[in-house]
């Protein structure tokens, strides 16, 4: 359970990428740690993401034990710098956002260029939208003609 909690936050919420911490994650991890024996906990810390999560959480709560590695120390140092100089965190977020957005657009362009099924799917959806709008216009015109006939 502790591994899922840490990996969920570190990977899915990009905490490992941005070097952030989460109060909810910290509280949930603390509740789970209380129920785990030390032998199991030492085995679990071998997971790199979990070790980084515990190293960052150790800055705030000393109940989190972690394995002292270069990567965990760099992540701790990065978080301390971000807490001290908030402008660094904002600059990092801007740079990562630019890379993430450009990566998304390049992937779409690549898929559109090299995937025939994707192009056909997009083309048919565009044609269907045009057909639907023209059909609606045609039906409205027909309805208005019928109303005019009924009024005359």
25-68 pLDDT, tens per residue?
A: 888 888 888 888 888 888 888 888 788 888 888 888 888 888 88
Residue 142 vs residues 21, 128, 129, 132, 133: alpha-carbon distances, Å: 61, 21, 20, 15, 14
Lowest mean pLDDT among 8-17, 21-30, 80-89: 8-17
Q: Which pLDDT belongs to residue 109? A: 76
What's the CA dihedral at 12, 18, 20, 25 to 10 degrees? 0
What is the distance of C-alpha 143 from the center of its chain?
48
- d(CA 14, CA 25) in angstroms, rounded, equals 13
pTM above 0.95, yes or no: no
- d(CA 145, CA 152) in angstroms, rounded, equals 11
What's the token pair of residue 132? 């639907």
Residue 52's nearest CA partner among 77, 76, 28, 84 is 76
Say how many Å lie between the first and final Cα of the chain, rounded: 75
Contact present, 32 and 2 (Cβ < 8 Å):
yes
Contact present, 79 and 20 (Cβ < 8 Å):
yes
Specify the residue for token string 């390049």. Answer: 106
């Amino acid at each position: 359970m502790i591994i899922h909690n840490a990996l969920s936050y570190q990977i899915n919420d990009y905490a490992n990428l941005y070097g952030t911490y989460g109060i909810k994650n910290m509280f949930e991890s603390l509740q789970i740690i209380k129920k785990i024996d030390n032998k199991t906990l030492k085995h679990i810390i071998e997971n790199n993401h979990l070790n980084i999560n515990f190293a960052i959480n150790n800055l705030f709560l000393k109940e989190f034990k972690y394995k002292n590695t270069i990567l965990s120390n760099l992540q701790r140092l990065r978080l301390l710098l971000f807490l001290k100089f908030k402008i660094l965190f904002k600059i990092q977020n801007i740079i990562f956002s630019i890379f993430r957005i450009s990566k998304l657009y390049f992937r779409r362009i690549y898929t559109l260029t090299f995937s025939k099924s994707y192009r056909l799917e997009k083309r048919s959806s565009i044609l269907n939208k045009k057909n639907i709008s023209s059909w609606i216009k045609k039906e409205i015109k027909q309805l208005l003609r019928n109303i005019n006939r009924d009024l005359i």
